[in-house]
Structure 1
Amino acid sequence: LNKATYKTMIETAEELYAKKDWYNALEWYEKAYEEQRDYDVAIRIAELNFMLRDYRRAESWYARAFRRDKTGKYDEYRFNYARALKMQEKYQEAIEEFDKYLATATDPVKRELAEKEKAGCEFALEAQPVPNVTISNAGRNINTKQSEYSPWPAPDGETMYYASFRTDDVIILDEKNKDEAVVKILRAQKTDKGWSKPEEVNAQINRPGVHTSNVALSPDGRRMYFTRQVLQGNELFESRIYMSEWTGNDWGPAREVQGVNGDWIATHPAVGELFGKEVLYFASDMDGGYGGFDIYYATYKGDGVYGDPVNLGPKINTVGNEVTPFYFDGVLYFSSDGHPGLGGFDIFYSEWNGTLWSPPVNMGKGFNSSVDDLYFRLHKDGTWGFLTSNRPATGARSVKSKTCCDDIYNVSLKI
């Protein structure tokens, strides 16, 4: 009877895993492991915890499997084990594990990433907090226990656009709630006591059954760019960039942006300049890039039409992922897990000199943490803005582990 039960548990877990339903797959693998201590299952549990950004539990499950591994069967998994240690600021231990991984690793891409991760740990051991910057949680009116995304300061200095599920509960998708259990774009106002409770933007932008996020405004505030996305389980399956124009009292009909979408994921739009022309920066996994997601630009031709996407090249883009670009006053800010950093995704900047981008510079401790720091944005006056992070900081609340979910943080600069 037990064998059949174990077999059923594993089959259920595998089915859920194939659907990319990580949380429920994890639950069934854990039940199966209690029934029968199979270290292949322990490794799968470790990997799922890592993907769900529960680094403490991931570390524990990896360690459990490695203790029993006398033949090097699980050596390939030391890469993520080392990363799980790094995400918890266990930098010295992480360096040792990256060295163990590099002693046997053959995959050239993962070897390069491991070297960069190790360099990031060495940088982290020396890094001092950046002076003259205050980073604080944007508060409970904005942040839920789920993730918040893509904060954008409107030019008026009084309004924040961002995206959220707006729930503190675990989201279980079924036929009844599939239209409503989606990320929507919201708008909040600055008050004397921080940010107000948000309101949804109109139904021209937010659609039932579709995740709407990655909001970005043009510098004059009259065009809104955003993405409509489809998830498969916990993974992004489809993403296209849209634009809406301000009609004088509300946002008008959404149009798909011509030139940047294709049979690839196009996400994280941000209006900027290059060679004296307006361009749209965005992240994509289209073929021909340097890694997973790369940053591209497309030149604006007017009326919602753009030229062909151009990759920003190997100075910016790595074998890892570069995402959430933002352009301000000749500087491109972006997040990367392929340049040496303190955590998973760190925020970097690169300056344009008229012909070339400078080598990217890590924004440093404070802007960056031991985990994921994304969506750095500045208001047009250059003194304040936002970022998102899953750091376990004051005010942060999460539906699962302490580092499962991203909150929006206010960034205040003393200039």
Structure 2
Amino acid sequence: MKRTITILVLLILQQAFSQTKNKTADALFDKMYYIEAAKSYELTVNSGDHSKEILMRLGDAHYFNTQMQSASTWYAKLIHDYPNEVPAEYLFRYAQSLQGIQNYELAKKWMKNFASKQKSNDTRTQNFSLKNVTLEDIENIKPSFLLENLAINSAYSDFGPMFYKGDLVYSTTIDSSYLKTNKYGWNDQPYLNMQLGKISESQANVTFKERFGKEITTQYHEACIAFSPDEKTIYFTRNNYNGKLKRDSKGINNLKIYSATATENGNGSVQWKDIKELPFNSDNYSVGHPSVSKDGKKLYFVSDMPGTLGSTDIFVVDILGNNQYSDPKNLGEKVNTTGREMFPYITDQALYFASDGFLGLGGLDVFESSLNEGVFESPKNLGAPLNSNRDDFAFIVNEETNRGFVCSNRKTGKGDDDIYSFERFCNQAVKGYVFDAISNNKIAGAMVSLKNQNGEKLEETVSQIDGKYEFNKALDCNSTYIVEVSKDNYANGIKTIITPNSSGTTETPIGLDPALIVRENGVLKIKIGIIFFDLDKSEIRYDAAIELNKVVLLMHQYNGVVIKIESHTDSRADDQYNLELSDRRAKATRDYLISQGVAPERIESAIGYGETQLINNCSNGVPCTEAQHQINRRSEFIITKM
């Protein structure tokens, strides 16, 4: 992007380090007339002046105008000629310009150099440390967008789309001549205004419909807009102009957000009236890029106001009504960096924005920060082809149709900034790990099957040495799937998952219970065969010992398991007799486990309950079969700790 009003980089430019001997070029640069400034600086270099200041300004003139090939050339010479004198920020810009020409390997090298030289509290040094997410990770993101260049794009800047009454409002330079033919010295293009485009039935293209918002149009820039949910209030970005262009103490004309109210005319057209400047604007810093939450209660925007972490940050205010707003709140370090965050677009599911402060493919990339119970998650890069090695920004989307628009100045476009329609394909990957639910140890060699909700097997894999598994099949979003796991000596594990409504990976860890452990009504029990006792006896028989040894083995295998023993009888014989007999058998069972090496403190209790806890209706006097009575004659080993 040739850094039109949208970028707000006027904020960065105030960081110019020093003047050069070419006062003419400096004056052009300070006015942000970068095309002419670059030409003048190059004449100075050709005449023999290779000073650090000239090379810095020459690189910047191309960098701020997104001429990344030229920028990288002059930054490379700057670093070569003055290796120990170049500020860290120029290492960052050099790395960014290398990404812009897709020289990713060299870009990684200089991003690491930047991280080592820059101050530790610069969040970009963490985001580009290449420890958690690598450039290869971003390059390997599965494509989930199909882009199409719009018919409305021109040879100049077209960007800043926003939905409006089923149509699309966007900013352009192509039709500003009806007001004034002045050109903006930054990129030698006319000033911006807004037009209305008709979205095609397939939502894949837009055609010009009419000019938009003549009442709010001036001879300067208007761009980057948002509407209230009822579309009766518009918020738009404009130069600090209200009949007169205002500048700050440094001579900079900053940006402001204005609002206007819709008045319906009899013919169905709309006039925008009651134009107001928002109260948190200032002559001394820029405010722009508004986006309104779906409930109309919050306004997100971009600014370099005091409290900004980087060049530009995303802020939010509460909309209180009657042109009243809460104090601006910075979204914090999870979203904002010491770089540039801009073009926020808020939905009920996520915040989308452009940034060069996180690891990306070059220039500005589009990121998504999901909303989780009102809290923004760590941003994720949306990958190619949505992002490119140039500037990609101003992303808007209909979350229900998965269609929307994004802007880019990639080389394949028609002009400077172009608007692209996109369809977002929602694909989910499923991966996770298998673990022992008692010990938490990872389980290798487990068979893991993926099935659809009808039980049809889609894919099968085996867990690795670290317990991890991953399916290759791309799954539909917002759909139900079943993951089943089997392994010798373990009970089968089954987990039903519903994939989210956005592309990504669903992490599905699955714990397996050892085969002897069952869950009954939320209670963990060691399940073994029936323990038989001789009539009226409580001594442990040989066949009972075989079953009890399974309990011993499991308790030796899982040292943290603590149990309690419960013994039960059927309802036949005297109630008190059954209670005493079951208690003797419970304690005999405890003594046997202890004799086999189980520590006494791991047996919490051993109690007989006689016929007081029957599990069917075979109580006193009720005729039942032998099989029905047998169900009540049982010993239970209940796990109380693991």
Q: Same fold (TM over 0.5)?
A: yes
Choose from 63, 69, 87 the match for 1:50.
Answer: 63
Does residue 256 of the first structure (1) align with residue 267 of the second (2)? no
Does residue 269 of the first structure (1) align with residue 290 of the second (2)? yes
Q: CA shift at 1:388, angstroms?
A: 0.9
State the partner residue of 2:140: 128
State the partner residue of 2:414: 397
Q: CA shift at 1:326, angstroms?
A: 0.9
Does residue 358 of the first structure (1) align with residue 377 of the second (2)? yes
Question: Using a 3 Å threshold, how does the CA distance of structure 1 residues 97 and 14 change in structure 2: closer, same or farther?
Answer: same
116-125 or 81-90, which deviates more:
116-125
Matches within 5 A, 1:4-403: 10-40=22-52, 41-69=54-82, 72-74=84-86, 76=88, 77-102=90-115, 105-108=117-120, 112-117=123-128, 119=130, 123-126=134-137, 127-139=139-151, 142-156=152-166, 159-166=167-174, 172=183, 181-191=190-200, 194-207=205-218, 209-230=219-240, 237-248=253-264, 249-263=269-283, 264-272=285-293, 278-379=297-398, 381-393=400-412, 396-398=413-415
- Cα distance between partner residues in 1 of 2:65 and 2:131: 22
Q: CA shift at 1:106, angstroms?
A: 4.8
Question: Using a 3 Å threshold, how does the CA distance of structure 1 residues 89 and 117 change in structure 2: closer, same or farther?
Answer: farther
Q: Which amino acid aligns with 2:282?
A: G
State the partner residue of 2:489: none
Is the Cα contact below 8 Å between 1:129 and 1:366 reproduced in 2? no
Is the Cα contact below 8 Å between 2:261 and 2:275 reproduced in 1? no
State the partner residue of 1:3: none
TM-score normalised by structure 2 residue count: 0.55
Q: CA shift at 1:222, angstroms?
A: 2.7
State the partner residue of 2:535: none
- Cα distance between partner residues in 1 of 2:252 and 2:365: 21
- Cα distance between partner residues in 2 of 1:327 and 1:80: 29
CA deviations 1:91-119 (Å, max 9, x no partner) are: 1111122334455x254456x42553453
Q: Secondary structure of 2:335's match?
A: coil
Is the Cα contact below 8 Å between 2:176 and 2:192 reproduced in 1? no
Q: Identity, % of aligned pairs?
A: 27
Is the Cα contact below 8 Å between 2:175 and 2:193 reproduced in 1? no
Q: Which amino acid aligns with 1:161?
A: V
Q: Which amino acid aligns with 2:174?
A: R
Specify which structure has the bigger relative contact order, considering alpha-carbon pairs within 8 angstroms and separated by 6 or more residues: 1
Q: Secondary structure of 1:187's match?
A: strand
Q: CA shift at 1:138, angstroms?
A: 1.4
Question: Using a 3 Å threshold, how does the CA distance of structure 1 residues 204 and 47 change in structure 2: closer, same or farther?
Answer: same
Structure 1 residues not aligned, in runs of 5+? 1-7, 399-404
CA deviations 1:336-374 (Å, max 9, x no partner) are: 222222222221122223342222222222222222211
Q: Which amino acid aligns with 1:44?
A: R
Is the Cα contact below 8 Å between 1:91 and 1:121 reproduced in 2? no
Is the Cα contact below 8 Å between 2:392 and 2:406 reproduced in 1? yes
Is the Cα contact below 8 Å between 1:75 and 1:101 reproduced in 2? no
Q: CA shift at 1:386, angstroms?
A: 0.7
Q: CA shift at 1:242, angstroms?
A: 1.7
- Cα distance between partner residues in 2 of 1:82 and 1:270: 31
Q: CA shift at 1:267, angstroms?
A: 0.6
Q: Which amino acid aligns with 2:210?
A: E
Is the Cα contact below 8 Å between 1:147 and 1:406 reproduced in 2? yes
Q: Which amino acid aligns with 1:397?
A: K
Q: CA shift at 1:306, angstroms?
A: 2.1
Aligned residues: 384
Q: Which amino acid aligns with 1:225?
A: Y
Structure 2 residues not aligned, in runs of 5+? 1-19, 427-642
What RMSD over aligned residues (CA atoms) do the two structures have, in Å?
Answer: 3.2
Is the Cα contact below 8 Å between 1:346 and 1:372 reproduced in 2? yes
Q: Which amino acid aligns with 2:289?
A: H
CA deviations 1:289-335 (Å, max 9, x no partner) are: 32221111111222343222222222212222221111112311111
Q: CA shift at 1:210, angstroms?
A: 2.1
State the partner residue of 1:5: none
Question: Using a 3 Å threshold, how does the CA distance of structure 1 residues 116 and 313 change in structure 2: closer, same or farther?
Answer: closer
Question: Using a 3 Å threshold, how does the CA distance of structure 1 residues 301 and 148 change in structure 2: closer, same or farther?
Answer: same
- Cα distance between partner residues in 1 of 2:232 and 2:314: 24
- Cα distance between partner residues in 2 of 1:329 and 1:51: 34
Is the Cα contact below 8 Å between 2:205 and 2:421 reproduced in 1? no
